[in-house]
Amino acid sequence: MDLIIREARADDAAAVLGVLNPIIESEAVAFDAPLTESDERGYIAGFPSRGVFHVALRRGDGLLVGFQSLEPFATYTSLFDHVGVLGTYVDAACRRQQVASRLFAATFAAARVKGYEKLFTYIREDNPPALAAYAGQGFRVVGRAERHLKVDGRYVAEVIVERFL
């Protein structure tokens, strides 16, 4: 798919939720309720200046088909300034067309410019597509947090992955 990757703007909020809310409703992610446009608009507007928030737009019609956010691991201390935490979401109708791969490439480049040296995230163990996508980008499994989510009374572990830039 031919894509334009650019930084997110507050006005992208509705389109971002057009991707994210259906994923929240039906996939193994760490949200339990849909987000509102006002939540998302505020989230993008208040996004940390050291963060990276990219959207992927289909060239031609401009449809937002995916997005990826990278936030500082912690802000209460400078000791983690080189570590960023990632989240990646692609419209179910546009998967396996390298949308996430393009977002990873853009985010890795922007993260290096912002001084990050390492990327880190948690992936539910019942989410094999995400585990495969991150493994394909060079992330390695460095841990497993047992009983980390409780989904409708059922415990789910999270797999911890990291990649050096």
Q: Which residues bind ligand COA (CB under 6 A)?
A: 23, 27, 29, 87-90, 95-101, 123, 127, 129-130, 132-133, 136
Q: Where are the beta strands (DSSP E) in 16-109?
A: 52-58, 64-72, 83-90
Shortest distance, CB of residue 10 to ligand COA, whole angstroms?
21
Shortest distance, CB of residue 144 to ligand COA, whole angstroms?
15
Distance in angstroms (rounded) separating the CA atoms of residues 93 and 18:
12
Q: Which is nearer to ligand COA, 76 or 95 (CB)?
A: 95
Contact (CB, 8 A) for 155 and 147? yes
Q: Which is nearer to ligand COA, 21 or 101 (CB)?
A: 101
Shortest distance, CB of residue 34 to ligand COA, whole angstroms?
14
Q: Which is nearer to ligand COA, 89 or 108 (CB)?
A: 89
Distance in angstroms (rounded) separating the CA atoms of residues 134 and 75:
25
Q: Which is nearer to ligand COA, 44 or 130 (CB)?
A: 130
| Structure token pair of residue 24 | 């929240």
Q: Which is nearer to ligand COA, 74 or 93 (CB)?
A: 93
Q: Where are the beta strands (DSSP E) in the chain?
A: 3-7, 52-58, 64-72, 83-90, 118-124, 140-151, 154-164
Q: Quick check: helix, strand or coil at residue 89?
A: strand
Shortest distance, CB of residue 16 to ligand COA, whole angstroms?
12
128-138 in b/e form (b: 16+ CB < 10 A) is eebbebbeebe
Shortest distance, CB of residue 24 to ligand COA, whole angstroms?
9
